[in-house]
Amino acid sequence: MKRIQNFINGRFVDGTGELFENRFPATGEVHSLVSAAGEQDVDAAVSAAKKALKGPWARLSVQERITLLRRVADGINARFDEFLRAEIMDTGKPASIASHIDIPRGAANFNVFADQIASVATEAFEMATPDGAGALNYAIRMPRGVIGVVCPWNLPLLLMTWKVAPALACGNTVVVKPSEETPATATLLGEVMNDAGIPEGVYNVVHGFGGGSTGEFLSSHPDVDAITFTGETTTGEAIMAAAARGVRPVSLELGGKNPGIVFDDADIDITIEGLGRSCFANTGQVCLGTERLYVQRGIFDQVAEKLAARARTYAFGDPFDQSTTMGPLISEEHRRKVLAYYEKAKAGGAEILAGGGVPSIQGYEGGSWVEPTVWTGLPEDSPVVRDEIFGPCTHITPFDDEEEAIQLANNSPYGLATSIWTTNLSRGHRVAGRIDAGITWVNCWFLRDLRTPFGGSKRSGIGREGGVHSLEFYTELRNVCVKL
Ligand SMILES: NC(=O)c1ccc[n+]([C@@H]2O[C@H](COP(=O)([O-])OP(=O)(O)OC[C@H]3O[C@@H](n4cnc5c(N)ncnc54)[C@H](O)[C@@H]3O)[C@@H](O)[C@H]2O)c1
Ligand SMILES: O=C/C=C/C=C(\O)C(=O)O
């Protein structure tokens, strides 16, 4: 049985924690065992990262760091099939997704921030002084130090490197805690880091669970200088509390209950294509996905019917088969959560337009499969419409006018993402400016320019990642004032 180890100070080591099972979600079969890190292993990883801040890594120029980051990107691409297999075995997601999104973006993130750090500016101010000689102020950008990186299971390599790449570009060192569900690609990246010549201790990986385990050991460690987290809102609260001790900055990318708004002048084909992805892609396990949809009354029936038909087109099966378009959920535990909402919808009297249950897939009976589902008819205060489900499901509600649509969309404690579908672009711009969300797409979804600010409002997070915004988090600006 394959064993997945921790990666500390450039070496793969067993942790002092227990071995835990790693399952292939498509069948439920155990495919590897993972060595959990104990508190002393996390301490060893943080110490290695702290020591590396004073070693060769600290003496590299920005250009030398850029060269190493590009080598890491090349290293991932050179081992593309290994990363692809590892990600699919951990998540069960179809190769059609992982080969086009997860692995390419996992490599691209290193090039994006190599570009970004090459051109980032700071600032300088000349000032008058009473003696007339003046003074010059200039800012210098310093790495924060050891960054704790705590990651989720839905886009494991993509979301981990979305943090590690800018952190390293800025001269920090990192200790990564991948989700217990998806340990493999973060571990494989350790080999790539060594091969690329990243000094030992710069990139470390510790495996285990969250509260009372590895995640908490890391976020509470006094020598971690900043914490970047992506995951559930409640976990974000716990990590923010841990970071408060020692006054450490946090970047929190949290949960959402994202609305879509379809006006009656929308291009139906473009809209259904976009909503088909935003509602069901990655088996609905995307933080930016649409779980509540508001459709103007005049086209409500048409959109509901077409979206329900789209939900029925997904092909379940072998995640390694390129013709498979929908995989399982990440685990039996998560499937129980999603199916509980399927039952709540039924109990609440929802009209089920598509799905609502579990598909029968020959040869994959042990997998965590659910049907893509479309409901209507529930009240806005239903848990199905309020809570983040994180599955391939959406509830559709009709609205009459723009004001009502905005009010419905904003009526949520979350504020992560929205999509607006209309051919009236004045309305598209106008409504986008009134939605309380970090990211709003108009006539598109998940179109990503990696230089843009990415993050949530309200309970969907704190801070922004992407482009220069990542560099603002992973560095500290210091001002120097020189009397002339
Ligand atoms: N905003 C975004 O960009 C974004 C992106 C992806 C996923 N998410 C969110 O992530 C969630 C799904 O991911 P998940 O189930 O892995 O989230 P999760 O919060 O359960 O776990 C995320 C990570 O935090 C760790 N963790 C859990 N409790 C902890 C604690 N008390 N202290 C330290 N670490 C702890 C886990 O082990 C895991 O590595 C969804 O809510 C989704 O919306 C948000
Ligand atoms: O599930 C959440 C997806 C997040 C995606 C990104 O952070 C990104 O595209 O950079």
Q: Helix H segments across 325-413?
A: 332-347, 383-386, 402-410
CB-based contact 358:370 (threshold 8 Å): yes
> Do the bridges between strand 11-13 and strand 6-8 make them parallel or antiparallel, or are there none, so unpaired?
antiparallel
Q: What ligand has the least distance to the C-alpha of 183?
A: 1
Strand positions, DSSP E, 85-238: 124-127, 135-143, 146-150, 173-177, 203-205, 226-230
Residue 80's Cβ-count burial label (10 Å; 0-12, 13-18, 19+) is: middle
Q: Measure 67 CA to ligand 1 centroid, in angstroms.
A: 32
448 C-beta closer than 6 A to ligand 1: no
216 C-beta closer than 6 A to ligand 1: yes
Q: What ligand has the least distance to the C-alpha of 334?
A: 1
The model scores a pTM over 0.90: yes
Measured distance CA(135)–CA(129) in Å, rounded: 7
Options 39, 87, 180, 253, the catalytic residue: 253
Looking at residues 446-457, what average pLDDT do you find? Answer: 98
| pLDDT the model gives residue 295 | 99
Residue nearest to atom 37 of ligand 1 (CA): 210
Residue type, 9: N
Q: Measure 231 CA to ligand 1 centroid, in angstroms.
A: 2
The answer to whether 232 is a known catalytic residue is: no
Residue nearest to atom 12 of ligand 1 (CA): 231
171 C-beta closer than 6 A to ligand 1: no
Degrees to nearest 5, angle at CA 160 with 103 and 214:
135
Measured distance CA(397)–CA(316) in Å, rounded: 28
108 C-beta closer than 6 A to ligand 2: no
What confidence category does residue 358 fall into, taking pLDDT thresholds of 50, 70 and 90? very high
- Mean pLDDT for the chain overall: 98
Residues 6+ apart with CB under 8 A from 252: 229, 230, 236, 239, 240, 461, 462, 463
What confidence category does residue 377 fall into, taking pLDDT thresholds of 50, 70 and 90? very high
| pLDDT the model gives residue 437 | 98
Residue type, 302: Q
| pLDDT the model gives residue 393 | 98
Q: Measure 450 CA to ligand 2 centroid, in angstroms.
A: 10
Residue closest to 343 by CA, chosen among 373, 379, 386: 373
Report the nearest atom of ligand 2 relative to the CA of 152: 1
Measured distance CA(425)–CA(419) in Å, rounded: 13
318-335 pLDDT, tens per residue?
Answer: 999 999 999 999 999 999
What confidence category does residue 236 fall into, taking pLDDT thresholds of 50, 70 and 90? very high
Report the nearest atom of ligand 1 relative to the CA of 152: 16
| pLDDT the model gives residue 38 | 98
| pLDDT the model gives residue 91 | 98
390 C-beta closer than 6 A to ligand 2: no
Residue type, 32: S
460 C-beta closer than 6 A to ligand 2: no
Report the nearest atom of ligand 1 relative to the CA of 177: 39
Measured distance CA(297)–CA(484) in Å, rounded: 69
Q: Measure 68 CA to ligand 2 centroid, in angstroms.
A: 24
Q: Half-sphere exposure of 227 toward its Cβ, with a 13 Å CA cutoff?
A: 33
CB-based contact 186:22 (threshold 8 Å): no
CB-based contact 104:162 (threshold 8 Å): no
243 C-beta closer than 6 A to ligand 1: no
Residues 6+ apart with CB under 8 A from 384: 341, 344, 345, 348, 350, 375, 378, 395
Measured distance CA(71)–CA(83) in Å, rounded: 16
Residues 6+ apart with CB under 8 A from 484: 129, 133, 134, 135, 136
Q: Measure 2 CA to ligand 2 centroid, in angstroms.
A: 29
Looking at residues 225-239, what average pLDDT do you find? Answer: 98
| pLDDT the model gives residue 33 | 98
What confidence category does residue 481 fall into, taking pLDDT thresholds of 50, 70 and 90? very high
Measured distance CA(300)–CA(277) in Å, rounded: 19
| pLDDT the model gives residue 96 | 96
Measured distance CA(64)–CA(242) in Å, rounded: 34
Residue nearest to atom 2 of ligand 2 (CA): 287
> Do the bridges between strand 146-150 and strand 124-127 make them parallel or antiparallel, or are there none, so unpaired?
unpaired
Q: Measure 149 CA to ligand 1 centroid, in angstroms.
A: 11
Distances (CA, A) of 313 to 80, 141, 221: 29, 51, 48
What the chain holds in terms of domains, given with CATH numbers, is 2-254+460-483 (3.40.605.10), 258-442 (3.40.309.10)
Residues 6+ apart with CB under 8 A from 128: 134
173-205 pLDDT, tens per residue?
Answer: 999 999 999 999 999 999 999 999 999 999 999
287 C-beta closer than 6 A to ligand 1: yes
What confidence category does residue 426 fall into, taking pLDDT thresholds of 50, 70 and 90? very high
CB-based contact 16:40 (threshold 8 Å): yes
Distances (CA, A) of 148 to 135, 204, 474: 38, 10, 11
Q: What six digits make up the tokens of 436?
A: 């309380």
Q: Measure 215 CA to ligand 1 centroid, in angstroms.
A: 10
Residue closest to 220 by CA, chosen among 242, 202, 192: 242
416 C-beta closer than 6 A to ligand 1: yes
Share of the chain above pLDDT 90, in %: 100
